[in-house]
Amino acid sequence: MATKDPKDLIEDDEDHGPQQGVPLVDNGEFSDLGFDPDRKLKIVGTTPIKPDGVDKVTGRAKFGADTQLPGMLVGKILRSPHAHAIIKSIDTSEAEKLPGVKAVCTRDDFPDIKPGPMKDISYICMAREKVFFDGHQVAAVAATSEKIAKQALKLIKVEYEVLPHVIDVMDAVKDDAPILHEGNRPKGIDDWPEDKQTNILERAEWSKGDVEKGFEEADLIVEREFDTKPMHQSYIEPQGCIANYTEDGQFELWTCTQAHFVYRSRLAAILEMDISKIRVSVSELGGGFGGKTMFYAEPLAAVLSRKANRPVKMVLTRNEVFRATGPVAGTHSRIKIGVKKDGKFTAAEAEMYFQTGPFTGSAFGNAPQACFTRYDLENIRAYGYEVVSNRPKVNAFRAPCVPQIVFGVEGVVDEIARRLKMDPIDLRLKNAATEGYETVYGYTFGPVGFVETLKAAKEHPHYKSKLGPNQGRGIGCGFWFNRGGETTASLNITPDGSVNLMLGNPDVAGSRGSIAMMAAEELGVPFDKVRPIIGDTSSLGYNHSTVGSRVTFSAGMAIVRSARNAIKILCQRAAKEWGVPEDSVVFEDGYVRPASANVGDFEPLSVADIAKKAGQTGGAIAGHAEINATGAGPGFGVHICDVEVDKETGLVKILRYTVVEDAGKAIHPLQVEGQFQGGAVQGIGWALNEEYIYNEEGRMENPGFLDYRIPVCSDVPMIDTQIIEVPNPLHPYGLRGVGEVPVVPTLGTVANAVGDAIGVRPRSLPMSPPKVLQLIEEVEANGVDEPYAA
Amino acid sequence: MARNHVTTTVNGDEYEFLCDTEQTLLDCLRDELFLTGTKEGCASGDCGACNVMLDGRLVCSCLVLGVEANGKSIETIEGMAHGDELHPLQQKFLELNGLQCGICTPGILVAAKALLERNPDPTETEIRFWLAGNLCRCTGYDKVVRSVQAAAEEMRKG
């Protein structure tokens, strides 16, 4: 993929799972970056204060909404009040006449892009023939003040013809459902009737072995259906940006994003500009979790800036964030697993439905690939449907589409353990995939740490502790591919030997610090001598987005290669100074030394010694790397959760929670623990509370943090963590990636704990008090569910 | 309509600004005084990212009008460190990784400082309920609570 068409970028980026076009297996390209188990580490594995830390505790750090430009206008967006309607007309004339209004934009200001992913993305930002959800963007205004901009929005007249709408995924696949896209033909279903309308966009299947035979061999088959609700990533920072289109046709954007290179390509398509004329700079990012891989306000701010010849700042409100930015797909699934009496799984099947909003983008293909991957299964059939409905287009969230299905899979596994009267960890150990297992997506595991992770969980004091009345314990486990991808880095050694790094990925939680630690380790200089920044899109080659647990892994490889390139130059300069051949010197612990006594008696030269004279020995010393990283190591997590259920109210209290996960190698252990803890608590919120509530008109009724309730500090206990380190042999420091796995098992783990406490396993999320109370009442009326008897 | 003239003390210094009557203290701090350390997460008093002290009382500045600050004293995150000496809470949040993305951190630090001023030895439960109005989506709160505990211990030692 040497040259990139914007459309290619978009298709790559919409799939947050295994990479397209990148070999999954080691092809030898990175043989210089393999893991060295004997290497002694000084910095990697310690816990220095992160380089962005001080600015973030003093209020200096600049996030998306925290900057201004001279002459800046304020932009505001007019949104659809309807879930599904034809836009018959838009009249902006009154708004344009209001003093202080400098530009108004509508669908007429956006190019009519040919059908494909870019058209869908553009359509989300600016509705065309129809609006598809409550909150869909239909017009925008730039004015000299926010007050005037808001007044102007009220003067825009939009005539709608309201259409029937559909919200729920299983309602959307009914024969009589309102149809979002007339004439849609589902991909992946060859025999779909010619005249049948549907909201199914695509069917995707991953299978291996002989599932029928596997189920025939089973002594026990458990088959259950499950539902999960969409949740919002709920980053605390609403999207904020400043667009600045200048008279000479250049465009600058400042924004909070996980994906500045992808934004650039997409803006080039919408603005019909050369990519090189667009420069996207990233602010500090106030949370993303996948949600800031898609833009909303940015193209509108760009068009308004171009029309007004002024910078335009746009900041979304929390209401807008909830109503119109991408949540996570809601799902319905049917999970079936067959097992022998001794606990060995014989076959597994998953049928899945994913609610994607009005357009594709759920990355639902991850689920059939990942939902059973961790178990040593020979026979798998896993297929899913991506279904449109009148909700905002879904977006990525940690391990897109996988936790929802693992919620069901781990429930079925829990039931099997109960029916076979086996310890739930022993059952998983009996079926744990190990090195050499060929996955359903065709990748064969190298060294993986699932067994080690399960064993550590079994030995953990939490697992051996006793429970009280009305309390229950659940176990769950999960997998994520982890990712590599296109990554660039630049390393410059300054004249005093301190080091600047320019990195190409927005830092969501501390990656720049971990990458700087690897650079310091390579160069043998103290950590505080290495200063990393995140480069804008004009300062580095293309970088894939901050997604899929790829950054510390991939940028680590890029920075190690950059450092080693710089070290080659350091060695050349020292050899030149000593007048000896280049291959007669070595670099060790921050010094160039003669390789042996035969070379001569020279005092070792430090990085700073050589840098000081760089001007006389050939110019600045630097290293850079442009790679398409492969060799990401699969990650596995095992969670243990204790809950107490209030039998009168149905309220579930998390009493104790432990995350055990294989990190490969923890570069900065406190940051790795933070990923485990944060992922688990996000999953706890999804499991217990979080859901969108729509009224009969299809309008969201809880677009705020009071009514859409994410976990607060008093809702959760300390989250215990145990880092397992089974090194990834294809990374210089052995790391795997730890951002996605921690959320994957959480929904299933909490549900298994609630089931243990009340005698029936919840199969529908969220496990909010009214739903749990209903289950308790069913148990009181009919006794505990069969697997819980005895 | 004429804007309102407000005189207020921010982090010990006197400031004057003009604001609309309906403009919140949060917007005045950010847009009129360019003190952008105080963050907007919700503008409805639910997330705590905009926490400041107003005459010694912890408030959500998104729920206070700018005009209400007239004649009063405001403390924001920008006033928490003394010169290059960080407050023990700031230091412990750094050392123990009590922050990830950092957007909620200013509000949490201001709120935690208010807690420790009235209760120098809070229990874990007291910390968790005091900070229940400060949403954090990254950390799961574990290291936030530990950072507050560690700072409290250090401050008690003097």
Q: Name the residue with tokens 């949104």.
A: A79
Give residues 88 to 117 of A whose Cβ lies within 8 Å of B: none
B6 reaches A (C-beta below 8 A) = no
What rounded mean pLDDT belongs to chain B? 97
3-state DSSP call for residue A494? coil
pLDDT at A10: 44
DSSP letter at A495 equals T
> What pLDDT, on a 0 to 100 scale, did the predictor assign at position A259?
96
Q: A484-536, pLDDT tens digit by residue?
A: 999 999 999 999 999 999 999 999 999 999 999 999 999 999 999 999 999 99
Give the one of B129, B140, B146 whose C-beta lies nearest to A714's C-beta. Answer: B129
Say what the pLDDT of residue A698 is.
97
Phi and psi (nearest 5°) for B70? Answer: -60, 125
3-state secondary structure of A300: helix
Please give the Cα distance from B39 to B59 (Å, whole number).
13
48-107 in B: which are within 8 Å (CB) of A? 49, 76-78, 80-81, 86, 90, 93-97, 99-106
A761 closest CA partner among A275, A296, A352, A414: A414
Cβ B100–A674 below 8 Å, yes or no? yes
Q: Residue A789: is its pLDDT beyond 60?
A: yes
Residue A12 has pLDDT above 70, yes or no: no
Q: What is the distance between the alpha carbons of residues B69 and A513, in angstroms, rounded to a whole number?
A: 39
Residues 6+ apart with CB under 8 A from A435: A445, A446, A447, A448
Give the closest residue to A683 by CA, choosing from A716, A721, A634, A732: A716
The residues, any chain, with a CB within 8 Å of residue A696's CB and separated by 6 or more, are none
Among B141, B143, B145, most A C-beta atoms within 10 A, so best to mutate, is: B141
Contact A524, A483 (CB under 8 A): no
Whether omega for the bond prior to residue A745 falls within 30 degrees of 0, making it cis, is no
pLDDT at A701 exceeding the cut of 60? yes
Does the structure's ipTM exceed the value 0.95? yes
Reported as a pLDDT band with limits 50, 70 and 90, residue A24 is: low
Q: How many other CB atoms are found less than 10 A from the CB of residue A606?
A: 17
Picking from A516, A401, A511, A469, the residue whose alpha carbon sits closest to that of residue A44 is A516
pLDDT of residue A25 exceeding 80: no
DSSP-assigned beta bridge partners for residue B122 = none
- Give the pLDDT of residue A790: 67
Q: Which two tokens stand for residue B60?
A: 């959500």
Residue A8: pLDDT band (50, 70, 90) is very low
Q: Looking at CA atoms only, how far is residue B95 from chain A in angstroms?
A: 6
Decide the pairing of beta strands B57-60 and A85-91: unpaired
Residue A13: pLDDT over 60 = no
Q: What is the pLDDT of residue B1?
A: 66
* Interface with chain A: mutation pick from B92, B109, B137, B145, highest number of A CBs within 10 Å: B137
A167 membership: H or E segment, kind and range: none
pLDDT of A522 reads 98
Rg (CA), chain B: 16
Q: Say whether pLDDT at A14 is over 50.
A: no
Q: State the pLDDT at residue A26.
A: 63
The mean pLDDT value of chain A amounts to 95
Q: Where does A484-582 have alpha helices with state H?
A: 511-523, 551-578
Q: What tokens were used for A97?
A: 């006449």
Residue A566 and residue A621 in contact, taking contact as beta carbons nearer than 8 Å: yes
pTM exceeds 0.95, yes or no: yes
The number of CA neighbours under 13 Å toward the Cβ of A4 is 24
Q: Is the pLDDT of residue A275 over 70?
A: yes
When pLDDT is cut at 50, 70 and 90, the band that residue A684 belongs to is very high
CA–CA separation, A426 and A372 (whole Å): 17
Task: Quote helix, strand, coil % in chain B, to nearest 5.
Answer: 40, 20, 40
| Of residues A56, A236, A59, A53, the one with CA closest to residue B75 | A59
Tens digits of per-residue pLDDT, A626-650?
999 999 999 999 999 999 999 999 9
pLDDT grade for A612, boundaries at 50, 70 and 90: very high
CA dihedral A607→A611→A617→A621, nearest 10 degrees, is 90
* Whole-angstrom distance, CA of residue B133 vs CA of residue B114: 13
Instruction: Give the minimum alpha-carbon distance from A743 to chain B in angstroms, rounded to a whole number.
Output: 12
Whether residue A485 contacts residue A552, with contact meaning beta carbons closer than 8 Å, is answered with: no
Taking CA atoms, B79 is separated from A19, A170, B84, B152, in Å, by 47, 53, 11, 19
d(CA A726, CA B47): 39
**Does the beta-carbon distance from B128 to A713 stay under 8 Å?**
yes
- Residue-wise pLDDT for A175-228, tens only, equals 999 999 999 999 999 999 999 999 999 999 999 999 999 999 999 999 999 999
Predicted pLDDT at A7? 42
Q: What is the DSSP string of B7-63?
A: EEEETTEEEEEEE-TT-BHHHIIIIIS--TTS--S-SSSSS-TTEEEETTEEEEGGG
Q: Are A437 and A403 in contact (CB under 8 A)?
A: no
H-helix or E-strand containing A336? strand A331-339
Average pLDDT over every residue of B61-89: 97
CA angle A456/A462/A464 to nearest 5° reads 85
pLDDT in tens, A670-679: 999 999 999 9
Share of chain A above pLDDT 70, in %: 96
- Residues A121-147 have pLDDT tens digits of 999 999 999 999 999 999 999 999 999
Please write the tens of the pLDDT for every residue from A308-325. Answer: 999 999 999 999 999 999
pLDDT of residue A2: 31
pLDDT at A5: 44
Q: Which of residues 23-62 of A touch B (CB under 8 A)?
A: 47, 49-50, 52-62
Query: What are the backbone dihedrals phi and psi of residue A344, each rounded to the nearest 5 degrees, phi first?
Result: -80, 125
Distances (CA, A) of A71 to A280, A300, A308: 20, 18, 11
**Whole-number Å distance between alpha carbons of B89 and B109:** 7
Q: Report chain A residues whose CB lies below 8 A from the CB of B141.
A: 677, 681, 711, 713, 716
> Closest approach of chain A CAs to the CA of B92, in angstroms?
10
The whole-number average pLDDT for the span A464-478 is: 98
| pLDDT tens, residue by residue, B10-43 | 999 999 999 999 999 999 999 999 999 999 999 9
β-partners of residue B145 are none
Instruction: State the nearest Cα–Cα gap between B90 and chain A, in angstroms.
Output: 6
